[in-house]
Amino acid sequence: MVRERVGDWKLAWRFALAGMVAGLLVIALAQTGVTAGTFDAGQDRLFPAPAPDPGITLVAIDSRTQRALGAYPWSNAYHAKVINYLASLHPRAILLDIVLDHLTGNDVEPPFEPADPLLTQAIQRAGNVILVCTAEAAPRPEFASVAAAVGDRGFGVADHANAVRGMLLRGDPKATCPANKSNEPAFLQTLRVADKITAPLAIQDSVAAFGSHRIPVVDGQMLINFTRGTSPTCQYVDAFNGVCPKPGLITDHIVVVGTKLIDAGDIYGQAVSFRHDPTFCPQFRPNCMLDSQNYGYRIQGDAISTILQDRYVRLQPQISVQLAVLLLAALVGLLVYVLSFRGGMMLAVALLASYYLGIYWLGQQGYLGDPLYAPAAIVLATTFSLGARYVLEERERRGLLSSWPQPSPSRS
């Protein structure tokens, strides 16, 4: 029978080396970018997804509104009426996540007043309306000049799993509209108006100072702590008619107005998936979008809530990922030498389970770990070390067989 541990302790370093080789192979694979999509998709599932901030209310231009008011886009007089109603309830700020880039002439309803001056007056009277823009689309000067601020939509670059994770805090000045004088995203401008923050945004290394907030920055982005889509809401048509079911959800709240129409094009893949309620899709197209997709104005609301509650998301540094891969791989390689064959297999399973439980717990605390490379290193190091063990056992077994005395040939 072969012993549970083969060889002697002088051979232990070879098993640790086998584990290290496995770890180096995993790191080399990571550098190719082939597995980047799988890595990001796994890490997206670690986002904590907390409850929505009750201080943010969403006003949605949805399919019910479209059925009541007609085909979108509408006369600017409609937006004026909604802003006037919302302002009468004294919100902290109103983020209008609709690019007001065109004039609409006279109102379509009696007394057929010029619609554009009505919207200009509504924005000016409210005093706390923030408009959005991009490099390609900017609000008309009539509206931008009277708004509290104009900010960029600011969505960050999608990850390798094609999901939006963050918002740019300060982009290239050429990548926004001229009316965005501070070169800041609209959600930050909204917080400035709501909380009366006047200090400039200061980004140093991986931290951005914004008033009393200290925001972790990853490649110029703030990672959004996405919620699961149950924020307080009022449909646009109810605001248009001045009958939001719960006016208290407007008073002293930050209000985000945006389109919740599948054909309006303001839809993005995001890191957190959630089951959509029936208002996300038209009545006769109930499965119009994936659970991992969301409307842009809702992402803006989640970005605002991330800072309001200082509940930030941080990534495990790349160097930490690589060191963890090498350490775990070497440790597994060594322990497989110490344990029996069955014990080595059980160790690998236990380590994988413990690792995933650990990174899930860290994810709930806002720290996103490595969901792929360290587990792959554990599996590969176990395979390499068990392979080396098998070769050593075979060599020892053959050595034992060759040392047995051979029978002498019989003499006639």
Same domain, 23 and 122: no
Q: What is the pLDDT of residues 303-324, one digit of tens each?
A: 999 999 999 999 999 999 999 9
Same domain, 295 and 384: no
Q: Phi first, then psi: what are they for 138, rounded to 5°?
A: -130, 150
Same domain, 326 and 341: yes
Residue 209 lies in a domain: yes
User: Structural domain of residue 337, as residue ranges?
Assistant: 9-45+315-400
* Confidence at residue 118, expressed as pLDDT on a 0 to 100 scale: 95
Q: Which of 210, 239, 230, 286 is nearest to 85 (CA)?
A: 239
* Confidence at residue 147, expressed as pLDDT on a 0 to 100 scale: 97
Same domain, 277 and 341: no
Please give the distance of CA 389 from its chain centroid, rounded to a whole number. 43
* Confidence at residue 283, expressed as pLDDT on a 0 to 100 scale: 82
Give the predicted TM-score (pTM) of the model.
0.88
Residue 299 lies in a domain: yes
Q: Which residue, 262, 283, 312, sits at the end of a domain? A: 312
Q: Is the model's pLDDT at 409 over the cut of 70?
A: no
Same domain, 278 and 387: no
Helix (H, G, I), strand (E, B) or coil at 349: helix
Residue 50 lies in a domain: no
Same domain, 181 and 104: yes
What letter would DSSP give residue 327? H
Residue 272 lies in a domain: yes
Q: In the block, which residue shows the tokens 């599948």?
A: 262
Q: What is the pLDDT of residues 21-65, one digit of tens each?
A: 999 999 999 999 999 999 999 999 999 999 999 999 999 999 999
Same domain, 182 and 166: yes
Residue 51 lies in a domain: no
Same domain, 29 and 130: no
Same domain, 298 and 323: no
Average pLDDT, the chain: 89
Separation of alpha carbons 81 and 75, rounded Å: 10
Same domain, 104 and 250: yes
* Confidence at residue 406, expressed as pLDDT on a 0 to 100 scale: 54
Q: Is the model's pLDDT at 277 over the cut of 60?
A: yes
Total count of domains within the chain = 2
With a CB cutoff of 8 Å and minimum separation 6, the contacts of 371 are 39, 42, 43, 45, 46, 356, 359
Residues 279/234, Cβ–Cβ less than 8 Å: no
Residues forming beta bridges with residue 397, ordered by sequence position? none
Same domain, 302 and 323: no
Same domain, 210 and 99: yes
